């Protein structure tokens, strides 16, 4: 069970007022707020053992290294991977770029990359750029009017020329959860039927890692990416999970620093996994904070979080649909706690501005998912995204102010 009062006390930012009104933070799909234990973790690092990692024999370096590598194990255990399969990055975007540019060197003209119509720009643009450089072709799986992936079309688009599949686990713009397990199963069946080698499947878990328990072995995915700032960790943190045999074959995305084992003017020998892909000095404090954030999540329990957020989503959906002229975009039954909507002909930026004046933070715009907006023939939506520290009373404030905005624009 979620003790909402205790939870909210863990997040100091929620105690403040905006324009003399209590903050109602409903922009969690963009970034989540940080619990005090994560904030304290950063302070502790910078005040007690600030040092670079892996290279020092002095105590501070050893302490920092131990904490950093402890996070790697925390992340690995969190998704049921091994330590050497966890690559630290500054977020999901860098993780996708790492895979795209490392695997992309093997593509040739006519090869195909498969994505969905629900992707964030970060899972579109890197693949477009690889296609430009190699002559590969980008294929897009369409969605229906509910925002759901059309599995029949996904099957049809798979071919012997498919070399990479990269699909989001959940739409950041709509909150719709994709049947990623089914997609991977279909791909594996296709490989067997056509007697072809395993096709790498990348899962963008940025919008599910904080809501749903993920087991990469059960999913049978080859890569999985996530951003720390969406799971209550510091910004500029994230990770890439990669299957060990694939990571060993891939070329480094960046070079220099910790990813090097030995250098001469004639030859450079790269480090072993996972360090082979971690060039330079990373966000050490932030990564340690990521470990602390996941430990915090584990104390609450993802099953408890999922149950609480699903209840909040159901309540918010019913209340918002009571507003005349409000239409939810993305109406699948399978959703995270995200509601994206339009209200009459009122521009989302106007809605966002008026809600901000009431102390309510929502996200407005195309949410870095322009193709998704075009699919529904709209320029933008207002998106309210919830966390386990949000309450039904905050939903009521959102609904009350949206009703006032609608009346104002009559």
Distance of alpha carbon 285 from alpha carbon 213, whole angstroms: 25
Listed in sequence order, the DSSP H helices in 104-179 are 125-134, 151-157
Given the structure tokens 């070329």, which residue do they identify?
251
Contact 293, 34 (CB under 8 A): yes
The sign of the CA dihedral 177, 401, 369, 247 is negative
Tell me which residues are annotated as active site: 368
Cα–Cα nearest to 164, from 133, 132, 192, 137: 137
175: phi then psi, degrees, rounded to nearest 5: 80, 5
What would the DSSP string read from start to end of 327-396? EEE---SSB-SEEEEEETTB-HHHHHHHHHHTTEE-EEE-TT-HHHHHHTT-S-EEEEE--TT--HHHHH
Three-state secondary structure call for residue 205: coil
Contact 258, 275 (CB under 8 A): yes
Tokens (6 digits) for 134: 């190699």
CA dihedral 248, 254, 259, 262 (to 10 degrees): 100
Enter the pTM of the model. 0.96
Let me know how long the chain is.
Answer: 410
Given the structure tokens 């996994």, which residue do they identify?
273
Bridge partners, 239 (sequence order):
88, 226
Given the structure tokens 């070399």, which residue do they identify?
163
Give the pLDDT score at 55: 80
334: phi then psi, degrees, rounded to nearest 5: -95, 100
Give the pLDDT score at 298: 97
Distance of alpha carbon 235 from alpha carbon 34, whole angstroms: 10
Give the pLDDT score at 43: 98
Give the pLDDT score at 82: 98
Q: DSSP E strands: which ranges in 9-136?
A: 17-18, 21-22, 24-25, 86-89, 112-116
**Vertex 165 angle, CA 74 and 193, to 5°:** 115
Give the pLDDT score at 105: 82
Q: How does pLDDT run along the chain (410 residues), one tens digit per residue?
A: 789 999 999 999 999 999 999 999 999 999 999 999 999 999 999 999 999 999 889 999 999 999 999 999 999 999 999 999 999 999 999 999 999 999 988 899 999 999 999 999 999 999 999 999 999 999 999 999 999 999 999 999 999 999 999 999 999 999 999 999 999 999 999 999 999 999 999 999 999 999 999 999 999 999 999 999 999 999 999 999 999 999 999 999 899 988 988 898 999 899 899 999 999 999 999 999 999 999 999 999 999 999 999 999 999 999 999 999 999 999 999 999 999 999 999 999 999 999 999 999 999 999 999 999 999 999 999 999 999 999 999 999 999 999 999 999 98
CA dihedral 323, 324, 326, 332 (to 10 degrees): 80
Contact 186, 152 (CB under 8 A): no
Bridge partners, 113 (sequence order):
138, 164
């Amino acid at each position: 069970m979620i003790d909402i009062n205790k939870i909210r006390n863990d997040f100091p930012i929620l105690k403040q007022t905006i324009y003399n009104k209590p903050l109602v933070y409903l922009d969690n799909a963009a970034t989540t707020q940080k619990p005090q234990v994560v904030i304290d973790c950063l302070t502790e690092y910078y005040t007690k053992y600030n040092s670079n990692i892996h290279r020092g024999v002095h105590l501070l370096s050893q302490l920092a290294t131990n904490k950093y590598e402890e996070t790697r194990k925390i992340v690995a255990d969190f998704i049921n991977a091994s330590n050497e399969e966890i690559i630290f990055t500054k977020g999901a975007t860098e993780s996708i770029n790492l895979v795209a540019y490392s695997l992309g060197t093997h593509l040739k003209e006519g090869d195909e990359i498969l994505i969905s119509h629900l992707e964030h720009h970060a899972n579109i643009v890197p693949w477009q750029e690889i296609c430009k450089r190699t002559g590969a072709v980008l294929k897009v799986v369409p969605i229906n009017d509910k925002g759901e992936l059309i599995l029949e079309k996904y099957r049809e688009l798979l071919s012997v020329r498919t070399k990479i599949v990269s699909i989001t686990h959940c739409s950041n713009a709509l909150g719709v959860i994709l049947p990623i397990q089914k997609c991977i199963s279909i791909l594996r069946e296709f490989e067997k039927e056509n007697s072809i080698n395993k096709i790498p499947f990348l899962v963008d878990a940025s919008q599910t890692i904080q809501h749903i328990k993920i087991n990469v072995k059960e999913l049978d995915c080859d890569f999985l990416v996530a951003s720390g700032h969406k799971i209550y960790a510091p910004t500029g943190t994230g990770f890439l999970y990669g299957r060990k045999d694939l990571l060993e074959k891939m070329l480094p995305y960046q070079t220099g620093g910790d990813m090097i084992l030995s250098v001469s003017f004639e030859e450079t020998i790269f480090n072993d996994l996972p360090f082979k892909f971690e060039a330079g000095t990373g966000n050490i404090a932030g990564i340690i904070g990521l470990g602390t954030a996941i430990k915090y999540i584990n104390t609450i329990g993802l099953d408890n979080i999922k149950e609480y957020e699903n209840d909040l989503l159901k309540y918010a959906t019913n209340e918002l649909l009571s507003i005349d002229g409000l239409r939810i975009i993305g109406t699948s039954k399978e959703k995270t706690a995200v509601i994206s909507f339009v209200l009459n002909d009122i521009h989302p930026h106007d809605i966002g501005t008026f809600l901000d004046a009431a102390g309510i933070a929502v996200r407005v715009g195309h949410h870095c998912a322009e193709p998704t907006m075009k699919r529904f023939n709209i320029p933008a939506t207002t998106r309210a995204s919830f966390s386990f520290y949000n309450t039904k009373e905050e939903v009521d404030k959102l609904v009350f102010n949206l009703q006032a905005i609608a009346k104002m624009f009559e």
